[in-house]
């Protein structure tokens, strides 16, 4: 077990650790940061067609990782989307009709 300093809980209960702290006289596990500047990365111009081919290869590779929905899931998702579309259309149409009706009563 690590030897972390403990502090009493405010209600007088058991001691609990206060967390990791740097202790005097102990070495840190972190390395000292180098004062030297990192070498600059020189960008070379690539053939644009080569970049396009690399991009398309990456797309094909990533598409292979996709977990595609089954036919039944697609039907379920499509039905859910269409029902939501009908509900939203009815809601907007209802608000439009009510506001139109109210404005007609007010101004006529």
Cα–Cα distance between 87 and 81 in angstroms, integer?
A: 10
pLDDT digits (tens, 9 = 90+) for 65-83: 999 999 999 999 999 999 9
Beta-bridged to residue 17, according to DSSP, are 6
pLDDT digits (tens, 9 = 90+) for 37-53: 777 776 777 788 999 99
* φ and ψ of 6, to 5 deg: -115, 150
Indicate the pTM of the whole model.
0.45
pLDDT reported for residue 46: 75
Pairing of strands 15-17, 6-8: antiparallel
């Amino acid at each position: 077990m690590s030897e972390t300093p403990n502090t009493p809980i405010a209600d007088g209960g058991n001691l609990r650790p206060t967390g990791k702290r740097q202790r005097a006289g102990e070495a840190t596990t972190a390395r000292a940061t180098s004062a030297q500047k990192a070498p600059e990365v020189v960008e070379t111009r690539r053939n644009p067609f080569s970049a396009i081919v690399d991009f398309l290869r990456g797309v094909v590779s990533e598409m292979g990782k996709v977990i595609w929905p089954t036919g039944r899931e697609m039907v379920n998702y499509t039905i859910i989307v269409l029902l939501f579309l009908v509900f939203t259309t009815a809601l907007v149409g209802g608000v439009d009709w009510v506001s139109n009706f109210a404005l007609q009563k007010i101004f006529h």
